[in-house]
Amino acid sequence: MHVLFAHQNFPAQFGPVGGRMAAAGHRVTFASRTGDGAIPGVERIRFDTAGGATAQTNFYSRTFENLTWHSHGLYTALRARPDLRPDLVVAHSGFLSAAPLRELYPGVPIVSYFEYFYHTVGSDMDFRPDDRPTPEVLIRARFRNAGLLLDLYNCDAGYSPTRWQRDRLPAEFRDKVRVIFDGVDTAVWTPAPRFDARRAGGFVAPEGKKLVTYAARGLEAMRGFDVFMRFAKELSARRDDVHFAVIGQEKTFYGGDEAKTGGKTYKQWVLEQDSYDLSRFTFLPPVTPKVLAEFFSISDLHVYLTVPFVLSWSLLDALACGATVLASDTPPVREVIEHGHNGLLAPFFDPARMADLAGAVLDDPAAHRHLRENGMDTVRRAYSLEVCLPQLVGFYEEVAGRVRV
């Protein structure tokens, strides 16, 4: 089978399954704009865009304008390769990649990966009372679903990584979409060897201190960075034996933090809103997977916070490394974490409750060891590459075998 993957970035979600299929003898082609590296047996096709939204583009339709140019760039690059005749196209719905490929590859089945459908009520957009979007932003969110709706109609089948994400899609399309997680590489995300000094990369945990970790792609409101800092201050006031390691980029990837920070990063803005003893914190930029796995392994408690939004891979990665996880009691998290079984849950807006639970873990790690063990077991049983990749490959083969009328 010849599979063509299309994604803005290489290799993103499709790297592990693409590599697995290439190793098994399938022909695999990957079209993307950005991203470095290579996967053995996978041919890479780069494309670019010739335009995009401008200040003159209507605010509501700017996302769709960008998607259209992205889609056109992909189509142009693939049209220049008439030797490519895939048996299956697998594309990320967030970039409208597959829409023109119906005309380029008539009769070829298309699988779309659906990550997030926007809602203005009961979602990330209205979850935080302190972060209410303007009416203009709410209206734009509805327009941003246009590309996903095209892909929902256009695809032969789709999949989402979690039930919660799938169930955000319109009910009339959900039967087309399966739930299959991307897969955690447990050869990478695994407990690191223990040494006399607790090390992660160049970081050494202060002697005699409990280590509490927080990691996110960006230090932003969507991932509760401000809530974490309030929790850390509360926990610091209760005990002097805690050090906090915070890993993430000083950048907002989701949401509109910049609308209230006055040109500062969200981290800078948060730190100015209160007083913190920064000697109790180590802030680090993004680190390699190996080093992040070491942090998860030496952490006495890992904190993961999110509003109702796409679930971060880091939550599963931390569980796989045997971290004791304290997470926000929000819908996407509850799909993975069962309070008291494989982690702990606290209300997103309740730093005092978080500090209560954290204190109990730090006071008696042995009584909470089962959380670590059950967390690792959860990943092995339901979210590891060994479990997820056969499901994905089987799903692709099933769809590729369908006759499209």
Residues of the chain with CATH 3.40.50.2000: 2-183+385-400, 199-383
Tokens of 367: 């009584």
| Domain boundaries 199-383, corresponding CATH code | 3.40.50.2000
**C-alpha span between 292 and 290 (Å, rounded):** 6
Residue 346 is predicted with a pLDDT of 98
Residue 194 has pLDDT above 80, yes or no: no
Residue 196 is predicted with a pLDDT of 67
Residue with tokens 């079209």: 31
Tens digit of each residue's pLDDT (9 = 90 or more) over 267-291: 999 999 999 999 999 999 999 999 9
Tens digit of each residue's pLDDT (9 = 90 or more) over 339-349: 999 999 999 99
Backbone φ and ψ for 42, nearest 5 degrees, come out as -105, 125
CATH class of the domain at 2-183+385-400: alpha beta
**Structure-derived torsion over alpha carbons of residues 198, 204, 206, 211, reported in degrees to the nearest 10:** -60
Helix (H, G, I), strand (E, B) or coil at 98: coil
Residue 404 is predicted with a pLDDT of 56
Beta strands 210-218 and 325-328: pairing type? unpaired
Residue 197 is predicted with a pLDDT of 75
Task: Quickly state the pLDDT bin for 59 (edges 50, 70, 90).
Answer: very high
Tens digit of each residue's pLDDT (9 = 90 or more) over 348-365: 999 999 999 999 999 999
**Pick from 326, 402, 379: nearest CA to 181:** 379
Beta strands 110-113 and 88-92: pairing type? parallel
DSSP class of residue 96 equals: T
**What is the residue-averaged pLDDT of the chain?**
96
pLDDT-wise least confident of 194-208, 284-298, 367-381: 194-208
Tokens of 167: 């169930």
Residue 63 is predicted with a pLDDT of 95
Contact partners, residue 80, CB within 8 Å, separation at least 6: none
Q: How far are the Cα atoms of 112, 186, 386, 394 from residue 390, in angstroms, in the given order?
A: 18, 15, 7, 6
**C-alpha span between 98 and 139 (Å, rounded):** 25
Tens digit of each residue's pLDDT (9 = 90 or more) over 218-259: 999 999 999 999 999 999 999 999 999 999 999 999 988 988
Tokens of 391: 């499901």
